[in-house]
Amino acid sequence: MDRLLIEGGIPLNGEVYVSGAKNAALPILCAALLTEETLTVSNVPHLRDVTTMLTLLGQMGVQISVDEKRSIQLTAANVVHPEATYEMVKTMRASVLVLGPLVARLGQARVSLPGGCAIGLRPVDQHLKGLQAMGASISMEQGYMVARADRLKGARIRLDLVTVTGTENLMMAATLARGTSILENAAKEPEVVDLAQCLIAMGARISGAGTDVITIEGVERLHAASHQVMPDRIETGTFLVAAAATGGSVRVTGARPETLTAVLEKLRETGVRIETGSDWIQVQASGVLKAVNFSTAPYPDFPTDMQAQFMVLNTVAQGQGIAKETIFENRFMHVQELCRLGAHIEVQGNKAITHGVPHLEGASVMATDLRASASLVIAGLVARGTTTVDRIYHLDRGYEAIEEKLSRIGARIRRVH
Mind telling me the catalytic residues? 117
> What angle do helix axes 164-174 and 125-133 make, rounded to 10 degrees?
20
Parallel/antiparallel/unpaired status of strands 72-75 and 38-42 = antiparallel
Parallel, antiparallel, or unpaired: how do β-strands 180-184 and 213-217 relate?
Answer: antiparallel
Stretch that binds ligand UD1, among 50-58, 98-106, 162-170, 202-210 (CB under 6 A): 162-170
Going residue by residue from 27 to 66, which x/- string records binding to ligand UD1, judged by CB under 6 A? ----------------------------------------
Q: Which 79-98 residues touch ligand UD1, going by CB under 6 A? A: 93-94
Contact call for residue 196 and ligand UD1 (CB under 6 A): no
Member of 127, 188, 340, 405 binding ligand UD1 (CB under 6 A): 127
User: Where does this chain touch ligand UD1 (CB under 6 A) — which range of 74-82, 123-131, 237-245, 315-323?
Assistant: 123-131
* The one among 14, 116, 123, 143 contacting ligand UD1 by CB under 6 A: 123
Residue 169 makes contact with ligand UD1 by CB under 6 A? no
- Counting contacts by CB under 6 A, is residue 327 touching ligand UD1? yes
Q: Whose Cβ is closer to ligand UD1: residue 305's or residue 396's? A: 305
Q: Give the CA dihedral 30, 31, 33, 39, nearest 10 degrees.
A: -110
What is the number of other CB atoms lying within 10 angstroms of the CB of residue 190?
21
Per CB under 6 A, does 184 bind ligand UD1?
A: no
Is there binding between residue 277 and ligand UD1 (CB under 6 A)?
Answer: no
Stretch that binds ligand UD1, among 11-19, 50-58, 118-126, 251-259 (CB under 6 A): 118-126
Q: Do the strands 83-84 and 108-112 form a parallel or antiparallel pair, or are they unpaired?
A: parallel
**Does 337 engage in binding with ligand UD1 (CB under 6 A)?**
no
Query: In this complex, which beta carbon is closest to ligand UD1, that of residue 96 or of residue 292?
Result: 96
Instruction: Assess 124 for contact with ligand UD1 (CB under 6 A).
Output: yes
Q: Does 305 bind ligand UD1 (CB under 6 A)?
A: yes
- Residues 306, 241: contact at Cβ < 8 Å? yes
Q: Which positions lie near ligand UD1, rule CB under 6 A?
A: 23, 26, 93-94, 120-127, 161, 163-166, 191, 304-305, 327-328
